[in-house]
Amino acid sequence: MPSLSKSRYLDGLQCEKLLWYRYNAKDEIPPADAATQAVFDQGHEVGALARTLFPGGVEITGDFRDFEGALRKTADAVKLRRPLFEAAFSHGGAFARADVLAPAGRTRWDVVEVKSSTEVKDVHIEDLALQKFVYAGAGLDIRKCELMHIDTSYIRRGDVEPARLFAREDVTRQVDALVPEIRRRLARMMDVISLKKHPPVDIGPWCRNPYPCAMLEVCWRFLPPNSVFDVARIGAKAFDLLGKGILEAARIPEDFPLSALQKIQVDAARSRNPRVDRSAIREFLSTLEYPLWFLDFETFSAAIPPFDGSSPFEQTAFQYSLHVVRSDGATPEHHSFLADGKEDPRPALIASLAGVIGEAGSVVSYHASFEKAIIRRLCDQFPGYAGFWKSVEERFVDLEVPFRTLAYYHPDQEGSSSIKVVLPALTGESYEGLDIAEGGTASREFLRVTFGDVPPAESGKIRRQLEQYCALDTSAMISLLDALRRLAR
């Protein structure tokens, strides 16, 4: 029988079907996508920084899959009574490698688990409980278990200060409460792994808790377009409908409890016709004042603050697109900014933007609270632009509003008010054909070509793709606004 690692044990807690696939049909599990891999990579960076708080530490190196070799190296390293990184132990059908094992006194050890999250979560306690079960069973005397996570109140001033970036919480009591369950759980998981066929696990809230499951797209692909899960904010009610054999939103019974907005969506799914509230659209259009400044930012965030004055996971703007329509029927003008080089992009970006946006007219963004938050924070960080913030704060108009409130709704939106869904539903235009077609990819590609070892030709190509993508975000807003005006007539 196999031994279960920490990650496989947590898989088993989340879903026995996933656990079975890990050992019996792993080729059928979709590989991690780029966004998930980026999370893993960030975790490695955070872990490496955390180790600097334990000087003199010894890393158990070698092929990560060679667990027997890691066990032998760990047995020798334990005798040194120094902090150990990735120390490996096995007990009771499970094995675990510790982020940090820190000597405590002459004979005891502290277990320190490092996470790039901003708080202690239940899954972290489960992780540490398995570790304590394994380490204690292997003969270590564990004094306490700690969770080291990111403190979002930290503001970088000069070099990153790991002791201030990380918060440390003693979770020994919570861990000890779970340890007695470990042996029984491991036995159950071994039984699941040995089954000839995966256990019959239906989809449920566990598919996304504590993390989106690796099998999500496999297990949920039976759902039709406009399924009950696409009804906005329907929550657990969708599982109730599924339990009754109702998959399509159009088949939801008339007497099923829905909000007014949900009923609009379901009615559209039944009729396959768009919903148009001309009065609400006209009211929204009346809030706009020329010139119209269509604004969109691209940002990245990092657990480890990259620049002075920045905080963990702060949205750092590196690009904007701005289309200006100065009067009704005027040809749009385009302005843009894309950071070049490894220096802090924020000063040049806010200077550029403040130099372009005039003192009159509506600033139009899609999901405008995001753009407002970016500008407000930039002006807080660079106080010389406080006047700019005052000049634009009350002029923002959120173009998502008529779609979020279902003044316009097309069944092809399938419950979403995202611009990437609304644009083709209302105008026939789309983001298809772009090499970079969504914000997460834009962030990762910018970071790769800016801070990675990328040939100049490739870097230039990616930067052109970034310009094209961000410009489409603002030109798409113009198209949507034109379409709303036609509907309002």
| 363-365 and 292-300 beta bridge pairing | parallel
Give dist(CA 460, CA 471) in Å, integer: 17
Q: What is the pLDDT of residue 2?
A: 64
Q: Cα dist. 328→97, 288, 332, 396, 482 in Å?
A: 64, 11, 10, 18, 10
Both structure tokens of 55: 């000087």
Residue 337 tokens, joined: 């900014």
Question: The tokens of 278 are what?
Answer: 């001309």
Q: Using alpha carbons, list the distances in angstroms from residue 27 to 19, 112, 214.
A: 13, 33, 12
CA pair distance 312, 138, nearest whole angstrom: 37
User: Tell me, what's the pLDDT at 264?
Assistant: 96
pLDDT in tens, 368-406: 999 999 999 999 999 999 999 999 999 999 999 999 999
pLDDT value of position 3: 84
Smallest CA-to-CA distance from 443 within 373, 345, 377, 367 is with 345
What are the two backbone dihedrals, phi and then psi, of residue 167, each rounded to the nearest 5 degrees?
-100, 145
pTM comes to: 0.93
Q: Which domains does the chain have, with CATH numbers?
A: 6-193 (3.90.320), 205-270 (no CATH), 281-488 (3.30.420.10)
Instruction: Encode the chain in three state secondary structure.
Output: CCCECHHHHHHHHHCHHHHHHHHHCHHHCCCCCHHHHHHHHHHHHHHHHHHCCCCCCEECCCCCCCHHHHHHHHHHHHCCCCCEECEEEEECCEEEEECEEEEECCCEEEEEEECCCCCCCHHHHHHHHHHHHHHHHCCCEEEEEEEEEECCCCCCCCCCCHHHHEEEEECHHHHHHHHHHHHHHHHHHHHHHCCCCCCCCCCCHHHHCCCCCCCHHHHCCCCCCCEHHHCCCCCCHHHHHHHCCCCEHHHCCCCCCCCHHHHHHHHHHHHCCCEECHHHHHHHHCCCCCCEEEEEEEEECCCCCCCCCCCCCCCEEEEEEEEEECCCCCCCEEEEEECCCCCCCHHHHHHHHHCCCCCCCCEEECCHHHHHHHHHHHHHHCHHHHHHHHHHHHHEEECCHHHHCCCEECHHHCCCCCHHHHHHHHHCCCCCCCCCCCHHHHHHHHHHHHHCCCCHHHHHHHHHHHHHHHHHHHHHHHHHHHHHHHHHC
Give the residues of the chain that fall short of pLDDT 70: 1-2, 64
